Structure 1
Amino acid sequence: MPRLTNRVFLDLAIWMAGFGLSIGLVFPPFCLLLGLPEDRVLTPLFFGATLSAGLVVGGANYALARLVVGRRLRLLADGMGSVETQLAQAVFSHDWSNCDPASCALPVDSKDEVGASAAAFNRLIGTLARSHEVEAAMRAFSEVLSSRFDLAELGSGALDALLRFTGADAGAILVVREDTLEPLASHALRTADGLADSDHIRRAMRLDEQAHMTVGASGLVIDSIVLGQPAREILVAPVTFKKVPLGAIVLATATAFEADAAKLLEQLRTDLGLAINNALAHDRLERLAAVDPLTDAYNRRFGLARLGEEFSRAIRAENPLGVLMFDLDHFKAINDAYGHLAGDRVLRAVARACRRVIREGDVLVRYGGEEFLVLLPGAGLDDIREIGERIRRAVAETTVPEGEQRIAVTVSAGGASYRESIDSPEALIEAADAALYEAKDTGRNRVVLA
C-alpha cells in the first residue's frame, strides 16, 4: 500500500478510518438489498449511525494494532537500542562479555514478521560476535608471532594458538628446512615424523590449497594420544610466503570442526607464512654469525659463549663437562709446501672427519687458525679420552688430494674435565690447552688429559 505519511501507525490510522467510513457508506445500500424499508434506511440518522460505527471499528482496529503490534515493536526497538549501547561501549573498552549472543538475544515468540525480525537481529548479533572473535583471534595470533624470533618457539606458540582458535584436539606444524619437510612443533600426537611423507600434505603444499578431510575418505591417519583413537576430521593448510612453500599446518579433531574453522585457518596461515619466513631468515643470519665459513664449525665467539652456558649448567646440575682442544701437526709445513688453498682443503677435511665421530650434542668450534675446540657436555675424563682417540684416528685416516699426491695430516689433542679446582670456563680451556702442548711436546699425534 502507498505511504501517506512518514509514520507507519499514522498511515494505519488513516487507512483504518477510511476503511470504516467506506463500510459505513456501503452498509445502507446493503441493507436495502436485504429488504429493509427505504424510509428507515435512507435517512440521515441511519447514515450517521453506520458512518460512526465504521469509524469506531476502524479506531478499535487501530488501538488493537497499537496494543499488539506496537508493543512488540517497542520491545524490539528497546532491545536493539540496549544492544547498540553495549556495542558502542565494547568498541572502546574491548570488553565484549556483556554483549554475547546469549545475553543480547531478543525473544522470538511469534511466527510472523515480528518474530522473523527478532530472529534476524539475533543472527546479526551472533555474526557480530563471531566477527569479533575472529578479529580477536587474528590480533592475538599476530601478537604471538611478533613476539617470537626463534623458529622452535614460534612453532610451539603458533600451534598452541591454532589449536585454541579452531577447537582442534591435536596437530602439528611442519617446516621445510634444507629441502626437507620436518616437524617444527606437534601436540598430542604419538609421532609427527610420518606426516612429512603424507601425499595429502605434499599435494596441499604443491597446489597451495587447504584440504579438509575425513579419516575414512582420505586414508590419512592422525593418531592422537589425547583422543585415544584416530581423528575423525583433519585440516591441512599449506604455509607459504610469496607463493614459496615453507611448510604446512595439520589439525585434527575427534568430532567435527566448527563451520568456519577452515575460513579462520585460511586467514591465519598467511600471517604464519610471513612469521616463519622471518624466523628462517633470522635463523640463517644467526647461523652465519655463529659459523666459520671455511670449516662449517662454530666460530670462536659462539663457542666461548656456548662454553659459558654449558659451564653454568654443569655447576647447577653437578654434571661433568669436558673440553678437547686439538690442532693440526706441522700445518705450517703443509701451507708452505702446497699453498694456502690446499691448507684450506685440509682444514675442511679435518672438520668433516671430526663431525663424523663426535657425539650428538657435542659442539665443534674452530678456535683459531688450525686449532679446534670440542665442547663435550656430560663427558668425564674417560669419555674425553675415547672421543679424542676417535678424532685422532679419523683424522689420521683422512687424506686430501693435491694433484697426483695426497696430503696426510695428524692432530695432537689435549682434554680437561670440569672439577672443583677449575672454577671458570677460561680455567677449563687453559687446562686443556696445557694438555695439548704436552701432547705436542711428547711426540704429537696423541691425546693427553689434564
Structure 2
Amino acid sequence: MLRITQRVFQDLAIWMTGLGLVMGVVFPFFVRFMGVPSNLVLTPWFFAACMGAGFMVGALNILLAKNVVGGRLRLLAERIRVVEGNLRHMAAGGGMEGCAPEDCYIEIDSRDEIGDSARAFNNLVTALATAHQSESALRDFSRLLASRLDLEILTTEALQQLMAHTKATAGALLVESEGQLTTRASHGLKNIAELENNDCVGAALRSGQRQLVRLPAGIELNGVLAEFRPSEVLVDPVMYKSVPIGVIVLATGEAFGEDALHRLGLLRQALALGLNNVLAHDRLQRLAALDPLTGIYNRRFGMARLREEFSRAVRDDSPLGVVLVDLDHFKSVNDTYGHLVGDRVLVHLVKLARSVMREGDVLVRYGGEEFLAILPAASRGDCVEVAERLRRLLSESAVTDGEQRIRVTLSAGVASTSELSVDSPNDLVHQADQALYQAKEAGRNLVRAA
C-alpha cells in the first residue's frame, strides 16, 4: 500500500475514506445503469447520500481494523517490550523470571499473517528461553568446575549436572590419565568395569566424534547395560586441544532432544577445561609430594600423612606403627662406587620395602638414606616383623654394577602406639629414632623396638 503519513492506520483511514467517497460518486451511475430513472439518482441529494454512506462505511472499516488488527498488534508490542526488558535484565546477570515462555506466548487463533506473526513471536520466546537456559547452565557448570580441584568430587558433581541438563536417566564419566581410561563417576549403569573396554567408547576416543546409538526394543548395548531399558545411548569424547582426556556416557529411555545435544556440546567444552585443570593440579601435587628419585613421599608430605594417620588412630582407638630405616655405611657406597650406584641402591631398597608392606601402608623418604614406613593398625610386633623381613631381604640381595655386586645392610627402629604412650606423631617418630640409635650402637644390621 502506498504510504501517505507515518502512521499505518492513518494511511488506512485516508485510503478507505477516499475509497468510500469514490464509491459514493460511482454508485448513482451504477444504479442508473441498472435501469433506475435519471431524475431519481442523478441528483445532488442522492450523490450526497451515497458519498455519506461511503464515508460511514470507510470509517466503520477503520474502527473494525483498529479493534481487530490493532488489538493484536498492541498485544504483540506489549509482549515484545516485556521480552526486551528481560533481555536487558539478562544482560545485567539476571534471568527470565518475568517472561517464562508460557507467560509470554501469544494465542494463535488465526490462519493468516497475524497468526504467522504470533507463531514467529512464540518461537522467538522459546528460542530465547532455550538460549538463556543453555547460557545459565554453562555459567553454573563452569563455576562448579572452577571451584573443584578434587578429581572424584568434580567428576561426580559434573556427571549430575550433565544428566540434569540432558534429562538422561543414567550416565558415567571416564577420565584418561597416564594412558589409562578409568570410570570416575557413574549413576544407573551396570557392568561399569566393562565401560573402559567398550567398543563405542573406544570408537569415540579414536575418532574424537560423538557416538549416538539408538536401540530398538529388546536390544541392549554390551558394556553399557543400564538398570532400565535405554532407547538411546550417547558416548561423547571430551577433548582438550584435540587430545582426548575423557568420555561422557549418557543413556535415556527417550530420545535426546536437539536442545539437549546442543547444550551438552557447550558443557563438554567447559568440562574439558575443568578436567585438564584438575589433572594438571594432580600432576603438580604428585610432583610436589613425591621424591623424584624413588617415587615415594618426600619428608614434607610424608609427615603430613603421618599426622593424618595419627589423628585417625586416635579417633578410632586403633594402633599406629612406624619403622625408621637407615642404610648402614651408605656414605662409603657413594664414595666407592659413585652417586649413581648409590641412587640405584636407594631405589632397590624402596622396591624391597614395597614388597613387604601392605596396601595402605605409606613409605616416606625421611632423609638422604633414611626411610620412614607408616603402618596403620600395626602393633609393635607387626612393625618388627615388617622391619625384619626388609632387613633380611636387603642383606640377601645385591645391586650389580658391571661385574661388581654391591651388598648393603640396614638398621631399623620401630615404635607403635599400642605399647607406647605418645602425645603426637613427632613423639612416635622420636621413639623409633631412639630405637634406631640402639640398633646402630649394637652393631648395625639389626632391628630394635621402642
Alignment of 1:306-325 (within 5 A): 306-325=305-324
Shift of 1:383: 3.2
Alignment of 1:365-444 (within 5 A): 365-419=364-418, 421-442=421-442, 444=444
Residue number in structure 1 paired with 2:45: 45
Residue number in structure 2 paired with 1:119: 119
How many matched pairs?
A: 447
When residues 433 and 240 of structure 1 are mapped into structure 2, their CA distance, relative to the original with a 3 A threshold, is: same
When residues 234 and 397 of structure 1 are mapped into structure 2, their CA distance, relative to the original with a 3 A threshold, is: farther
Secondary structure of 1:426's match?
Answer: helix
Deviates more, 1:76-85 or 1:118-127: 76-85
Residue number in structure 1 paired with 2:147: 147
- State the AA in 2 paired with 1:374: A
Residue number in structure 2 paired with 1:252: 251
Task: Deviation per CA, 1:327-382: give whole Å up to 9, x if none.
Answer: 22343343344232211111111112222332222111111122211111222334
1:223 has 2:229 as partner: no
- State the AA in 1 paired with 2:286: R
When residues 255 and 62 of structure 1 are mapped into structure 2, their CA distance, relative to the original with a 3 A threshold, is: same
C-alpha distance in structure 2 between counterparts of 1:306 and 1:66, whole Å: 81
- State the AA in 1 paired with 2:28: P
Deviates more, 1:87-96 or 1:276-285: 87-96
Task: Deviation per CA, 1:235-255: give whole Å up to 9, x if none.
Answer: 222222221221222222233
Deviates more, 1:101-110 or 1:350-359: 101-110
1:205 has 2:205 as partner: yes
When residues 250 and 429 of structure 1 are mapped into structure 2, their CA distance, relative to the original with a 3 A threshold, is: same
- State the AA in 1 paired with 2:368: G
Q: Is the 8 A contact 1:327 1:370 kept in 2?
A: yes
Task: Deviation per CA, 1:10-69: give whole Å up to 9, x if none.
Answer: 122122223223332332332233222233233333323222222222222222222222
Shift of 1:393: 4.2
Q: Is the 8 A contact 1:324 1:413 kept in 2?
A: yes
Shift of 1:94: 1.4
Shift of 1:149: 2.4
Secondary structure of 1:39's match?
Answer: helix
1:364 has 2:394 as partner: no
Task: Deviation per CA, 1:403-441: give whole Å up to 9, x if none.
Answer: 113223333333222246111111111222233334444
- State the AA in 2 paired with 1:418: T
C-alpha distance in structure 1 between counterparts of 2:180 and 2:89, whole Å: 50
Task: Deviation per CA, 1:104-124: give whole Å up to 9, x if none.
Answer: 223333333323322322222
Shift of 1:93: 6.4
C-alpha distance in structure 2 between counterparts of 1:77 and 1:336, whole Å: 91
1:30 has 2:12 as partner: no
Task: Deviation per CA, 1:259-307: give whole Å up to 9, x if none.
Answer: 2122112112222222222222222222122111111121111111111
When residues 291 and 262 of structure 1 are mapped into structure 2, their CA distance, relative to the original with a 3 A threshold, is: same
C-alpha distance in structure 1 between counterparts of 2:18 and 2:260, whole Å: 56
Residue number in structure 2 paired with 1:239: 238
C-alpha distance in structure 2 between counterparts of 1:97 and 1:82, whole Å: 11
- State the AA in 1 paired with 2:197: D
Q: Is the 8 A contact 1:222 1:230 kept in 2?
A: no
Residue number in structure 1 paired with 2:342: 343
C-alpha distance in structure 2 between counterparts of 1:398 and 1:155, whole Å: 45
Alignment of 1:177-196 (within 5 A): 177-196=177-196
When residues 397 and 54 of structure 1 are mapped into structure 2, their CA distance, relative to the original with a 3 A threshold, is: farther
Q: Is the 8 A contact 1:327 1:412 kept in 2?
A: yes
Alignment of 1:100-111 (within 5 A): 100-111=100-111
Q: Is the 8 A contact 2:32 2:41 kept in 1?
A: yes
Deviates more, 1:215-224 or 1:245-254: 215-224
When residues 413 and 117 of structure 1 are mapped into structure 2, their CA distance, relative to the original with a 3 A threshold, is: same
Q: Is the 8 A contact 2:204 2:236 kept in 1?
A: yes
Q: Is the 8 A contact 1:385 1:415 kept in 2?
A: yes
Task: Deviation per CA, 1:56-100: give whole Å up to 9, x if none.
Answer: 222222222222222232233233334434544454361432321
Shift of 1:397: 4.8
Q: Is the 8 A contact 1:200 1:220 kept in 2?
A: no
Secondary structure of 2:49's match?
Answer: helix
Q: Is the 8 A contact 1:412 1:436 kept in 2?
A: yes
- State the AA in 2 paired with 1:292: D
Residue number in structure 1 paired with 2:260: 261
C-alpha distance in structure 2 between counterparts of 1:218 and 1:212, whole Å: 14
Task: Deviation per CA, 1:136-177: give whole Å up to 9, x if none.
Answer: 111111211211223333323322332232222332222221
When residues 234 and 395 of structure 1 are mapped into structure 2, their CA distance, relative to the original with a 3 A threshold, is: farther
Residue number in structure 1 paired with 2:75: 75
When residues 349 and 218 of structure 1 are mapped into structure 2, their CA distance, relative to the original with a 3 A threshold, is: same
When residues 416 and 246 of structure 1 are mapped into structure 2, their CA distance, relative to the original with a 3 A threshold, is: same
C-alpha distance in structure 1 between counterparts of 2:129 and 2:173, whole Å: 29
C-alpha distance in structure 1 between counterparts of 2:203 and 2:2, whole Å: 60
Deviates more, 1:255-264 or 1:344-353: 255-264
Secondary structure of 1:260's match?
Answer: helix
Name stretches of at least 5 consecutive residues in structure 2 with no aligned partner.
none
Q: Is the 8 A contact 2:141 2:161 kept in 1?
A: yes
Secondary structure of 2:142's match?
Answer: helix
1:57 has 2:57 as partner: yes
When residues 337 and 205 of structure 1 are mapped into structure 2, their CA distance, relative to the original with a 3 A threshold, is: same
Residue number in structure 1 paired with 2:135: 135
Q: Is the 8 A contact 1:349 1:398 kept in 2?
A: no
Residue number in structure 1 paired with 2:270: 271
CA RMSD of aligned residues (A): 2.5
Secondary structure of 2:366's match?
Answer: strand
- State the AA in 1 paired with 2:416: S
Secondary structure of 1:106's match?
Answer: coil
C-alpha distance in structure 2 between counterparts of 1:191 and 1:317, whole Å: 34
Q: Is the 8 A contact 2:194 2:223 kept in 1?
A: no
Q: Is the 8 A contact 2:191 2:223 kept in 1?
A: no
C-alpha distance in structure 2 between counterparts of 1:232 and 1:327, whole Å: 63
Deviates more, 1:344-353 or 1:372-381: 372-381
C-alpha distance in structure 2 between counterparts of 1:248 and 1:397, whole Å: 48
C-alpha distance in structure 1 between counterparts of 2:274 and 2:42, whole Å: 91
